[in-house]
A and B are shown apart, each in its own frame.
Chain A
Amino acid sequence: LKEAPVSELHDLLCKKLQQCCILFDFLDCVADLKGKEIKRAALNELVECVATNRGILIEPLYPEIIKMISVNIFRTLPPSENPEFDPEEDEPNLEPSWPHLQLVYEFFLRFLESPDFQPTVAKRYIDQKFVLLLLDLFDSEDPREREYLKTILHRVYGKFLGLRAYIRKQCNNIFLRFIYETEHFNGVAELLEILGSIINGFALPLKTEHKQFLVRVLIPLHSVKSLSIFHAQLAYCVVQFLEKDATLTEHVIRGLLKYWPKTCTQKEVMFLGEIEEILDVIEPSQFVKIQEPLFRQVARCIASPHFQVAERALYFWNNEYILSLVEDNCHAVLPTVFGTLYHVSKEHWN
């Protein structure tokens, strides 16, 4: 591609794209090594070419580009061999064809980020069906693949205004299926990272659709067993919402209290962390609405026999801003916690 005269460049580019539609079996790592190397080199050239040349992306190339990408990335993901796969403990199954797949993703990203990229042309090919297939790939066990998918979907969401509502709706469906049906989806954290940037960019006043997403999806997400894998991203989304619209605070706090873990202390520590993040941004006028039910729960945590839970709850008093809120409202807060504090100071084993 580098040496080709400009007149022949587009034809050559087209041929290389078609060449890269050939798929190889990486499970048999000795099979067809020569062919694999030819494709790897061709993909490298394509990445280089789109990344460095201007005026390359002419309209007729768009369908060829999308076809090559689709043929390579859209596939049925292998079933997780270990049904008891614990994302926190076990090593994920990495994608065997990664040597090629990575370059296809890299090429796709360069294509989307090229100054010559035209969404008006690309939207014929990057449509709702394409996006649905892309979202399915977020269930891949390979974190490297999910990282690329996250960046790609973030760019697609940004550049294709007509797809935004559809993407939000499909993410909704993935989360709801995850919460209420399968409790198994590998890309929840990545999707929440994208949603964090979307929430951050919401216009005010918030649309009802967005508030419903908080109430119907983000809060119930706290009830899932594998919360620890995506809690940081989930808490970030919740806090983004409250910074956008503080009137949602009461609903969020009551939702967390409703889903408060009863038997998983690790989750309880996460919930306390999230509560502190919320209190860090809370308006005093909102604090007074939830102080009593909230500090009744904090008091229960202080009395927890699990010392990490008790410690994390007591740690609220190390936060200057929370301290000032409690001081301003000690007539309401003190009665809910003092009895427990006194009892714990005498009886707690640790």
Chain B
Amino acid sequence: PQKKKKPKLPKSPAPHFAMPPIHEDHLEKI
């Protein structure tokens, strides 16, 4: 039987120091 591949681990929780993401904006000057 086709071996069931183990799924990738769920995304590990962000570390305590992680800061809220700042989304890149197309208006930013290059």
Contacts and interface: CB of A to CB of B under 8 A. Distances in A.
Interface residues of A, number: 29
A162 interface: yes
B12 to A, nearest CB: 6
A242 interface: no
A243 to B, nearest CB: 8
Contacts, number: 66
Given A161-B25, A161-B28, A201-B24, A280 B9 contact: yes
A197 interface: yes
A287 to B, nearest CB: 11
A28 to B, nearest CB: 36
The DSSP consensus for interface residues of chain B is: loop
Interface in B1-30: 5-6, 8-9, 11-12, 14-15, 17-30
B30 to A, nearest CB: 6
Interface stretch (A57-65, A75-83, A320-328): A320-328
Given A198-B21, A320-B9, A321-B8, 12 more contacts: A154-B22, A164-B29, A165-B29, A196-B17, A198-B22, A200-B18, A200-B21, A201-B22, A201-B23, A277-B12, A321-B9, A328-B5
Interface of B: 5-6, 8-9, 11-12, 14-15, 17-30
